[in-house]
Amino acid sequence: MPTGIALRDAREQLFAAAERVLLRDGANALTSRAVTTEAGVAKGLLHRHFADFDDFLTQFVLDGIGRIEAQDAELRESAGSGAVVDNLTRALTDLFGSIALRIVGLVISRDAVRTRLRELAGDGVPVLREATRMIRRYLGAERERGRVRADADLDTLAPTLIGAAHLLFAGREDTPPAPEDVEKVVTTVIADAVI
């Protein structure tokens, strides 16, 4: 493959290729050769920008976490409008209907990546940890607006919502759960918390 082609943003091009491979073929198919072939670049390009393939995957996961942070801001802006159940249903569907579910599988399957992420970002499974924070912040914003009970245990509700949604979506990448199934889980989990 040609190596003299100037790339506008090699990192982004490689991340986009990794996302396509991950979505299409799963975590086991994600190799440096698969990524560079998908991106249409020489394999050496990846190694010019990253220390090794595990470094690339770690940065790829961190990039995915950045997307959750953007979704976090959008979800908190929705606090006070619409129904709490609808806002949470949409947020969880957007989260797990995206690359996030595949990234969780990637992190779980790659010990070296998980170790590097733990060193950089702390304990827990990245993506799930950030998603839990996102839901916790949203519920807190709704509590401030009087739409969630003051005594609601947000530190339990948030991970319960994330865990239940993750179980609904896991292993169903080709046929995600129906929106009403996600809504039913959200309604059940937060039934006693919403005013």
**HEC-encoded secondary structure of 74-139:** HHHHCCCCCCHHHHHHHHHHHHHCCCHHHHHHHHHHCHHHHHHHHHHHCCCCCCHHHHHHHHHHHH
Residue 36 has pLDDT above 90, yes or no: yes
Whether CATH 1.10.10.60 fits 1-49:
yes
Query: Which of 1-15, 19-33, 68-82 shows the lowest mean pLDDT across its residues?
Result: 1-15
Residue bearing the bigger pLDDT, 7 or 137: 137
Question: Looking at this protein, which amino acid is placed at residue 22?
Answer: L
Compute the residue count for the chain. Answer: 195
User: What share of the chain has pLDDT > 70, as a percent?
Assistant: 95
Per-domain boundaries in the chain: 1-49, 61-190
Q: What's the confidence (pLDDT) of residue 49? A: 92
pLDDT at 8 over 60: no
Q: Is the pLDDT of residue 66 over 90?
A: no
**Averaged over 69-83, what is the pLDDT?**
94
Higher-pLDDT residue of 69, 49: 49
Of 154, 66, 57, nearest to 113 (Cα)? 57
DSSP codes, 5-51:
PPPS-HHHHHHHHHHHHHHHH-GGG--HHHHHHHHTS-HHHHHHHSS
- Is residue 173 very low, low, confident or very high in pLDDT (cuts 50, 70, 90)? low
Name the more confident of 107 and 34.
Answer: 34
* pLDDT of 146 strictly over 80: yes
Which class is domain 61-190? mainly alpha
Query: 93 versus 104: which is more confidently predicted?
Result: 93
